[in-house]
Chain A
């Protein structure tokens, strides 16, 4: 069975641009979460979605938004990119909002110049 998949693998954007990152959960998983990992630190929680509804939001500005589709895949959007948004963006999936073990995808490495 395929694990969590993310696209693209790498991305280079300039300041002020907008970016969309995509995630497909493990088959049968209905919950998707997004994390940001800057160099040298642990991942930081951005959003959790379950059954297309936002279930949690971390301490990130409104420039960050996300959504979940009927097939449980998800997109993370970041507007008005800043240099500080350069990071590895990780997507995680779990069976449901009541199943707590999360499985991570390979990540999208975003560089903002």
Chain B
């Protein structure tokens, strides 16, 4: 099946810093989503981005489908950005089975 790798596994930054999270996937996909998991376990939708670039406030994402990677950018980090960020993909055929990476744990210190 499709493999999803996220890097780095852990990232510790000071408030105000910028960060880049990477997601590599092993095959062509029809869906790529970025989520932020809060401390209570809720997965918050950040981007639905199977290709191209999107921006939402301090967050932006780019997916280069032909090279099988996606990047999530967080600018001017705030302590509330802390948590685990997941990339998830699904393939064209079959069920809407999202395959998740192992996540990047982001810690923003004041």
Interface residues of A (CB under 8 A from B): 31, 33, 35, 37, 41-45, 48, 55-58, 88, 90, 92, 94, 97, 100-107, 109
B45 touches A101 (CB 8 A): yes
A31 to B42, CA, bound (A): 19
A90 to B96, CA, bound (A): 15
From residue A11, how far is it (CB to closest CB) to chain B in Å? 14
A101 to B95, CA, bound (A): 13
Report the 9 A-B pairs with minimum CB-CB distance, sorted nearest first: A56-B95, A42-B100, A100-B31, A104-B43, A101-B48, A48-B95, A45-B97, A55-B95, A107-B41
A41 to B35, CA, bound (A): 14
Main secondary structure, interface of A, reads: strand
Say yes or no: is B79 at the interface (Cβ < 8 Å to chain A).
no
From residue B27, how far is it (CB to closest CB) to chain A in Å? 15
Chain B 65-110 residues near chain A, CB threshold 8 A = 86, 88, 90, 94-103
Chain B residue contacts of A107, Cβ below 8 A:
41-42
From residue B6, how far is it (CB to closest CB) to chain A in Å? 9
Q: A42-B100, A45-B99 are in contact. Are A104 and B94 (CB under 8 A)?
A: no
Q: A100-B30, A101-B33, A104-B43 are in contact. Are A42 and B95 (CB under 8 A)?
A: no
- Closest A residue to B92 by beta carbon equals A100
